[in-house]
Each structure stands twice: as C-alpha cells, then as structure tokens.
C-alpha cells in the first residue's frame, strides 16, 4: 500500500475537505484528489462519499481511517521532531534560475521552504545565462535542457516538453500546420537569446525534423511570448510550466501533436568536491521532493 497516499487520505478524512487537507499538506487540491483516487483504485474500494456540500468516509473508509489515524499520529510526532530540527537549519542560500520557472516553480518552492525553515535567507538570481558558481557565489542553479560537461553535479527534478501553441483567434484566420514544413507559412514567435540561432526540433517515431526559425517576434521572456500568443500574434513553443491554465482553459491550443517537440529536463546543478552547507543540502532535497507535486501532469 502507498503509505503516503494513506496519510493523505487520513488528512482528508480528518478535515472532511479536500481543500483544507491540501492546505495542511501544502499540496494542490488536484494532487490530493488524484492521490485519493489512486489509493481507492489500489485498494479496490471507495473510501469517500462526495457531494456538492460535504465529504464523508464510507463504511470501509471509516474503518481504514481508524488504522490510518494511528499512522497519522506517528507522522505528526515525526513532523514535530522535524520542526524542532528545522530550527537548527540556518544560513544563506544563493540560487540561480531561468525566467521560465520563476513564477510557477521557484517562488512556490522558496515560499514553502522558508515557511518550514524560517531562519534561512535566500537570494535568487533570475537569468538564462550559465552562471559562474564560484565567481558569482551561486550555491545551486536550476537549468533547463542539455548541459555542457562542466564538472558540476546534476540532479534531475522534472521532465517535460515544450508545446507548439496558438490562440483560437489566430487559428480562426490561419490553417493549422500539420507538418514542420508548414510552419514557413505562419507567423512564428520564439524564445531567443542574443547570438543563438532559433530552431525547433520535432520528432515522430524515428523521424526527426529541425526547423530554423525566422521569427516575427523573438523575446527572452516566455511570459511576454504567452501574452502575445493570447493576442493572436502567431505560433510559438511554450513550456507547460509557464502557465498550465492557458491550455486547460482553451485560451491556447496545442498544434502538431503528431510531431511533438523533444522533451527536456529541469535539473539542479551545484559544485562537487565537498559537502554542501546544510541549508543548501536541505533546500536541494526539499525542492526535489516538492517540484514534481506542483503540476498534475506534464507532456513528455
């Protein structure tokens, strides 16, 4: 049995609310709901009765909660010990991260970490360039995509692929592309840094197609690109972590799903050759555990 799922169920049953339990657990409500559904599927029984006004355990769920509550008491005791231990985590951490993860990844992790470890001070440097860990005093950097062999230690935390998207308004007046070669007939927007040639790499089974972009708009800010897309400016590749709601709400539409862009990794990198300061080590593990819970499902 998934003991984490059991603890989540116990919190929901105790609170009689997904929302209250999610707040206690510092998880998205959708994640709590999904974990309960997975536990019910694993056990082959229904644990909760849901209605528009209230939530209560089934007869089987109530029996399981009695046992789960004991596990919850142990977990609370462990949490208490951990909180006492957290008071010993002090110091300063310098982070670096690209703009694409600043709002929906970096800030939620920092806020949750500082609630758990209030004595730690954090300096975050948001940039797309590769930082000099020693020269700029960076303890840990988040990076997206392929990394050069730099002698840094790399820890993967998330895998996803960008999605080729456009607004319904743009598609109303323009035929959606079906093949990478069709993109030449469209207005293209892309993330771009000075000195880099913009290109998109598509795959379909064993086939690969790389398209060199001559964009109508190039910008080193995905939030700005998303705003232009919503205004019907054209087609762009957008990371799903920038704002997952845009596709869920139908404000943007994914294109060429049979020719997806290649997946990439979000990693944390840091200097090797010695023990990390305790605050940095704790943050690294905290971020690796929390980041995958921030998103329900990402395209890969």
Instruction: Name which of 182, 289, 170, 142 is nearest 235 in CA terms.
Output: 170
Are 3-86 and 91-160+265-294 the same fold in CATH? Answer: no
Q: What is the pTM of this model?
A: 0.67
Q: Pick left, alpha or beta for residue 91 (phi over 0 → left; psi -120 to 50 → alpha; otherwise beta).
A: left
Strands across the sheet containing 140-144: 120-126, 91-97, 140-144, 263-270, 153-161
Per DSSP (E only), the strands in 60-198 are 91-97, 120-126, 140-144, 153-161, 163-166, 188-191
- Residues forming beta bridges with residue 125, ordered by sequence position: 96
Class in CATH terms, 3-86: mainly alpha
CATH topology of domain 163-260: D-Maltodextrin-Binding Protein; domain 2 (3.40.190)
Instruction: Output DSSP code: residue 292.
Output: G
- SS3 (DSSP) at 180: helix
CATH code 3.40.190.10 for 91-160+265-294: yes
pLDDT of residue 273: 66
Tens-place pLDDT, residues 233-244: 999 999 998 888
For residue 149, is pLDDT > 70? no
49 contacts 1 by C-beta, under 8 angstroms: no
Lowest mean pLDDT of 103-112, 138-147, 250-259, name the range. 138-147
Segments making up each domain of the chain, as ranges? 3-86, 91-160+265-294, 163-260
For residue 136, is pLDDT > 90? no
264: part of which helix (H) or strand (E)? strand 263-270
- Residues forming beta bridges with residue 163, ordered by sequence position: 238
């Amino acid at each position: 049995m998934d003991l984490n799922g059991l603890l989540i169920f116990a919190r929901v049953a105790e609170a009689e609310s997904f929302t209250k339990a999610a707040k206690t657990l510092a998880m998205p409500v959708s994640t709590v709901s999904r974990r309960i559904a997975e536990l019910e599927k694993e056990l082959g029984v229904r644990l909760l009765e849901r209605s528009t006004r209230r939530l209560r355990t089934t007869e089987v769920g109530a029996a399981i909660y009695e046992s789960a509550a004991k596990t919850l008491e142990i977990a609370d005791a462990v949490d208490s010990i951990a909180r006492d231990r957290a008071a010993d985590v002090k110091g300063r951490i310098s982070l670096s991260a690209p703009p694409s993860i600043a709002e929906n990844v970096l800030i939620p992790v920092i806020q949750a970490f500082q609630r758990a470890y209030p004595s730690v001070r954090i300096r975050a440097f948001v940039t797309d360039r590769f930082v000099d860990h020693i020269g700029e005093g960076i303890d840990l950097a988040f990076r997206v995509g392929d990394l050069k062999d730099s002698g840094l230690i790399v820890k993967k935390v998330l895998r996803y692929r960008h999605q080729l998207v456009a607004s319904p308004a743009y598609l109303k007046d323009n035929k959606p592309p079906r093949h990478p070669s069709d993109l030449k007939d469209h207005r293209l927007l892309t993330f771009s840094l000075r000195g880099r040639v913009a290109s998109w790499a598509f795959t379909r089974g064993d086939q690969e197609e790389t398209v060199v972009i001559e964009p109508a708009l190039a910008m080193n800010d995905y939030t700005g690109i998303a705003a232009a897309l919503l205004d019907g400016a054209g087609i762009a590749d957008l990371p799903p972590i920038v704002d997952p709601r845009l596709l869920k709400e139908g404000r943007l539409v994914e294109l060429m799903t049979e020719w997806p862009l290649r997946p990439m990794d979000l990693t944390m990198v840091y200097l090797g050759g010695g023990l990390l300061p305790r605050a940095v080590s704790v943050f690294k593990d905290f971020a690796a555990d929390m980041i995958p819970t921030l998103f329900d499902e990402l395209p890969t």
